[in-house]
Chains A and B, each alone.
Chain A
């Protein structure tokens, strides 16, 4: 089996010139138990004379690869040869031994400092080919070491899967650590959290724009819950929607500058869309029950949403103009907060079990499959948000006490905790770039 898999993988790698079909096949396989790519990170060469920096780079890269669910991170002592720093670059003999030990790829780099500018000269070797397949210089500074490592990780992901990696993305979320709920932004791995609102009120449901440069969210800063847009580059915020009643659960179209949201101005929650400059308001739902929590499909042509028009809250799908409404979920009596995968194939949502506990479920958007992504327990999992690879989500869980943010893969594996504060960290939104 192993040999077959290896042969298959090589075939995929060799056909890397036609990455679309190859990577699709590969990813389908990886979803259903395909062996991860055995990879080893050799000790980096330290030409910057900064051991701490090199350790950070190696550690962040290793954590990225381990977290990815694509790579099987092999310990250096198991690569089949004794790495020989400081020159460190593996030669033909080393690659042969690594290949025999089952390691498909070796990663190595040199850190060079040119004044304030730091360069990570990064190399990747495929042991079966006995070739250097990537040679790239990543620029940064002493302050951007984590970013340099994340960049290297994404280069590896792109090379081996044909898909963009998630290592340079960010997660916006709500935390009450300041005493009131405010929005924070952190790296995808939970590092470098930063507070971005100071409304001293209640701030809810941040959602990234598709470009990752703006956030739309609900705030009670003026008493009533209104929608605001925060420009992350300028730090400026502006009011977007301020109807009487609730203005909430906004979601940015992935293909145009348009935001879907719910408002109760008509007497119950209805879904509207509006351009981010506040113009061109369009009403999509006309139903006496509540329609809320819209989430766009990757094409921007459809919207999934929560509605209790059938008596209990369930997930529905409609066209982006409100036509062709149909129900997606039928299992259970409480399914809310849909979020459409950026790949278009799955819709994740919070589903409630008989003990009135929430977990994360996902249905194929065409309704042909339904799975539980998180296990049931005496806790609540909610607020799923997809990573750009469409294979993993971030979500909120209070399984360890206070609400914290976790990530998990579509197959229910690789559960990771991203936040570990004493506060409640909720409502994550994962940026798509």
Chain B
């Protein structure tokens, strides 16, 4: 477990670095999604949390500090494009790029049209990187009850998994988990924040 997460952490750090180096300017018109810090915690926060739960505090601290060093801007592309513009992020097929987060409508697990664009890019990237395995994490916003949101999060994860498999990616490369509303990346009680949390996030396993 430790080793996997360690590799993953390095992967994230590299990814963030790469994202910065060949940075595409953030999409304008993503008004309301201010939040470099919120977006940063999308990748950094949730990955470090899951590490703290499984591998103890030591490795969690390491990872956190690595993420703090990495720039936020790589993530802000990810989130704002998926959430509000339906536009894909800079997708180069570079092996160091990673699968982008996709977003959902309230109470829904259906793949949105903006998500389809992102998922096509993710599938291309997965095709180019055949050894990478992905954990698909389903999340919900804070509204609704915890237990129902767990089920909803899993429906979201499964619907994305099905979509990627239909795009030709081997199912054995995926695992999935639902965190319901337990791992929000944004805590304010407003729609911008709710939208950021209604997501499927991809975790690179190796």
Q: Given the known inter-chain contacts A181-B182, A224-B177, A290-B155, please indicate yes or no for A205 contacting B147, CB distance below 8 A.
A: yes
CA distance A204 to B107 in the complex (A): 21
Decide if A382 touches B53 in the complex (CB within 8 Å).
no
- Smallest Cβ distance from B155 to chain A, in angstroms? 7
- Smallest Cβ distance from B23 to chain A, in angstroms? 33
Decide if A180 touches B53 in the complex (CB within 8 Å).
yes
Chain A residues with CB under 8 Å of B150's CB are 204, 225, 246, 248-249, 292
Decide if B177 touches A358 in the complex (CB within 8 Å).
no
At the interface with chain A, which of B35-43, B122-130, B138-146, B164-172?
B138-146
CA distance A380 to B177 in the complex (A): 26
* A401 (CB) vs chain B CBs: closest residue: B189
Asked if A426 lies at the interface with its beta carbon under 8 angstroms from chain B, I say yes
* A356 (CB) vs chain B CBs: closest residue: B143
Q: Given the known inter-chain contacts A246-B150, A246-B178, please indicate yes or no for A221 contacting B53, CB distance below 8 A.
A: yes
Chain A residues with CB under 8 Å of B54's CB are 201, 222-223
Asked if B59 lies at the interface with its beta carbon under 8 angstroms from chain A, I say no
CA distance A223 to B205 in the complex (A): 13
Chain B residues with CB under 8 Å of A220's CB are 53
- Smallest Cβ distance from A305 to chain B, in angstroms? 10
Decide if A337 touches B182 in the complex (CB within 8 Å).
no
Asked if A68 lies at the interface with its beta carbon under 8 angstroms from chain B, I say no
Contact of B143 among A248, A268, A293, A380 (CB under 8 A): A380
CA distance A306 to B145 in the complex (A): 11
Residues B102-158 near A (CB distance < 8 A): 106-107, 143-148, 150-151, 154-155, 158
Decide if A268 touches B155 in the complex (CB within 8 Å).
yes
Residues B156-188 near A (CB distance < 8 A): 158, 177-179, 182-183
- Residue interface bits A348-360, CB-to-B below 8 A is 1, else 0: 0010100010100
Chain B residues with CB under 8 Å of A181's CB are 182
Decide if A248 touches B147 in the complex (CB within 8 Å).
yes
Chain A residues with CB under 8 Å of B179's CB are 202
Q: Given the known inter-chain contacts A200-B52, A202-B182, please indicate yes or no for A337 contacting B151, CB distance below 8 A.
A: no
* A352 (CB) vs chain B CBs: closest residue: B144
Interface size of A as a range: 35 or more
Chain B residues with CB under 8 Å of A290's CB are 148, 151, 155
Decide if A336 touches B144 in the complex (CB within 8 Å).
yes
CA distance A211 to B182 in the complex (A): 30
* B149 (CB) vs chain A CBs: closest residue: A336
Decide if B53 touches A306 in the complex (CB within 8 Å).
no
Decide if B145 touches A336 in the complex (CB within 8 Å).
yes
Contact of B53 among A202, A356, A426 (CB under 8 A): A202
Number of A-B contacts (CB under 8 A): 87
Residues B76-125 near A (CB distance < 8 A): 106-107
Asked if A57 lies at the interface with its beta carbon under 8 angstroms from chain B, I say no
Contact of A337 among B52, B148, B155 (CB under 8 A): B148
Decide if B53 touches A337 in the complex (CB within 8 Å).
no
Chain A residues with CB under 8 Å of B50's CB are 223
Contact of B147 among A245, A249, A356 (CB under 8 A): A249
Decide if A246 touches B151 in the complex (CB within 8 Å).
yes
Decide if B148 touches A313 in the complex (CB within 8 Å).
yes
Chain A residues with CB under 8 Å of B182's CB are 181, 202, 204
CA distance A264 to B177 in the complex (A): 11
Decide if A180 touches B145 in the complex (CB within 8 Å).
no
- Smallest Cβ distance from A125 to chain B, in angstroms? 47
Chain B residues with CB under 8 Å of A352's CB are 144
* A382 (CB) vs chain B CBs: closest residue: B145
Interface centre among B52, B53, B54, B56 (most CB of A within 10 A): B53
CA distance A202 to B158 in the complex (A): 21
- Residue interface bits A368-396, CB-to-B below 8 A is 1, else 0: 00000000000010110000000000000
Asked if A199 lies at the interface with its beta carbon under 8 angstroms from chain B, I say yes
- Residue interface bits A246-270, CB-to-B below 8 A is 1, else 0: 1011000000000000101001110
* B60 (CB) vs chain A CBs: closest residue: A200
- Smallest Cβ distance from A291 to chain B, in angstroms? 9
* B194 (CB) vs chain A CBs: closest residue: A356
Chain B residues with CB under 8 Å of A108's CB are none
Asked if A427 lies at the interface with its beta carbon under 8 angstroms from chain B, I say yes
Chain A residues with CB under 8 Å of B53's CB are 180, 199-202, 220-221, 223
Decide if B147 touches A264 in the complex (CB within 8 Å).
no
Chain A residues with CB under 8 Å of B143's CB are 356, 358, 380
CA distance A268 to B153 in the complex (A): 11
- Smallest Cβ distance from B56 to chain A, in angstroms? 8
* B56 (CB) vs chain A CBs: closest residue: A200
24 contacts between A and B (CB under 8 A): A180-B53, A181-B182, A200-B56, A202-B182, A202-B183, A205-B146, A205-B147, A224-B177, A225-B150, A246-B178, A249-B150, A264-B178, A267-B158, A268-B151, A268-B155, A292-B147, A292-B151, A306-B147, A306-B148, A313-B148, A336-B144, A337-B147, A356-B106, A383-B145
- Excluding A202-B53, A264-B151, 18 further A-B contacts by CB distance (< 8 Å) are A180-B52, A180-B53, A200-B57, A205-B147, A223-B50, A223-B54, A225-B178, A264-B154, A264-B178, A267-B158, A269-B151, A290-B151, A290-B155, A292-B150, A334-B144, A336-B148, A350-B145, A380-B143
Residue ranges of A at the interface with B (Cβ–Cβ < 8 Å):
180-181, 199-202, 204-205, 220-225, 245-246, 248-249, 262, 264, 267-269, 290, 292-293, 306, 313, 334, 336-337, 350, 352, 356, 358, 380, 382-383, 426-427
Task: Sort A-B residue pairs by CB-CB distance and give the 5 closest, nearest first.
Answer: A201-B53, A290-B151, A249-B147, A336-B145, A336-B148
